[in-house]
Amino acid sequence: MNISQDVLAQFNHLEKSGALDQLGELRRENRELERIITDAAMLVSYTDVNSMLDFIISKLLDHFIPQFLGFIVLPPRGRGIRQFCFRNLKPSDDVIDPLYYEIFRERFNKNPMYARFEEIAEELGPDLFGKDFHNLQPERIFPMFGIGGLYGIVIMGKKLIGDSYSELEEKYVDRMIRFLSVSIQNGLHYESSITDPKTGLFTHDFFVRRLDEAIAHTYRRNSTAGVLLMDVDHFKRFNDNWGHVMGDEALIALAGVLQKSIRGEDCAARFGGEEFSVLVAECNESKLMKVAERIRIAVSEIRIPYPPTGTDLTLTISIGARMVRGCGKQTSLMLLGDADKALYRAKSNGRNQSQLYTTGLLGMAKVLRQH
């Protein structure tokens, strides 16, 4: 028997024994593991939760499209459960009753393995899940474990196209969710470190950091930005008359107005107590004052129900504005100090108004001479 015949005989023997099929399966598994490792390395590089979810969704598109995908997570601190829901991998306004999170949390704390929804419903009792949950057509439920244990649930609906999920697809999702669980928890902890727990706005320290970056940006690009510093008018009187609980409600409502009134590239923060600050990127004086007035008017339209009297409480704010220009030796401390002077002028002139800080002719000449 020559060498060629010997090699062919060995090949036939391997083929009959099934070893070649096993080798092929191992190669497929290795390729899948390599892809998971590559995807996981990309995933852990994100610090923003929304970016993490966008990345996961882009990876799922390579495999399949679930009709519904929901992430329910409990942040380390904050005002309750957060939800991220998608229909056909596009953001949706679905809202899942937090009761279901508690049901799944209790189940996965006893049994940490992901499972088909039908199996869980049969295990816990079908009466626990209402029509609202069944309408999501849940197919698989995955737990999200972090450093402190279970803190989230992933609900995956039926496939948009195709049969049920294959074992390989389930393994891929399970592995990616394990990486996602750690990444999201890290992201939530980072969010907690830079946000005010009461209002959800950024902290003063983070705001100053963003302001320093904006100052550097204006120098590099010879551009302009703006700073708003605002204070609730007669807030001590508000607390004395209506109580600190209603005072907190007022601050939360004001924070909501700020979040709705600015763009993604802007930054709103709780400066301290009843003071708030906003960094407005890429703006001129006219645009800065328009933003200030939009916020001021929106705050004056806030209505806070006060059950003991059946009436609504209102509040107003005063705002000081300061431009950030790409000239002179500007610092965040100086800009905030100038904005505070404009705020003081707004309060001295009767409150519930916006004032722009101006340096005057001599001041402008000094700034230009420094440039």
The whole-number pLDDT of residue 362 equals 43
Give me the pLDDT at residue 361, please.
44
Report d(CA 250, CA 228) in Å as an integer.
19
Grouping H, G, I as helix, E, B as strand and the rest as coil, residue 240 is: helix
Q: What is the DSSP letter of 319?
A: E
All CATH 3.30.70.270 domain ranges in the chain, comma separated: 204-370
Mean pLDDT within 244-253 = 95
Per-residue model confidence as pLDDT tens digits over 307-319: 988 899 999 999 9
Instruction: Tell me the C-alpha to C-alpha distance, in Å, between residue 288 and each of 78, 122, 255.
Output: 31, 59, 18
Please state, in angstroms and rounded to a whole number, the distance separating the CA atoms of residues 14 and 8: 10
State how far the Cα of 311 lies from the Cα of 294, in Å rounded to an integer. 25
pLDDT more than 90, % of the chain: 55
What are the pLDDT digits (tens) for 261-312? 998 899 999 998 999 999 999 999 999 999 999 999 999 999 999 998 889 9
Average pLDDT, the chain: 86
pLDDT(11) > 60? no
Scanning the chain, the segments in alpha helix (DSSP H) are: 3-17, 19-43, 49-60, 98-110, 117-124, 131-134, 167-194, 204-221, 235-242, 244-261, 285-300, 332-348, 360-370
**Tokens read off for 268:** 């709103």
Phi/psi-derived region of residue 149, left when phi > 0, alpha when psi is between -120 and 50, beta in every other case: left
Angle at 253 between CA 249 and CA 257, to 5 degrees: 170
> Which residues of the chain form CATH 3.30.450.40?
35-193
Structural tokens at position 343:
């705020």
Instruction: Write the pLDDT tens digit of every residue in 48-95.
Output: 888 888 888 888 887 888 999 999 988 876 557 889 999 988 899 999
363 pLDDT band, cuts 50/70/90, is very low
What average pLDDT does range 238-246 have in this prediction? 94
pTM exceeds 0.85: no
What pLDDT shows up at residue 140? 93
Q: Is the pLDDT of residue 240 over 90?
A: yes
Closest alpha carbon to 55 in 67, 76, 41? 41
To the nearest 10 degrees (0 to 180), the angle between helices 244-261 and 285-300 is: 140
CATH class name, domain 35-193: alpha beta
Q: Is 273 left (phi over 0), alpha (psi -120 to 50) or beta?
A: left
Choosing among 3.30.70.270, 2.20.28.270, 3.40.640.10, 3.40.50.12140, the CATH entry for 204-370 is 3.30.70.270
277 to each of 203, 248, 253, 315, 337, how far by Cα in Å?
A: 10, 17, 15, 17, 12
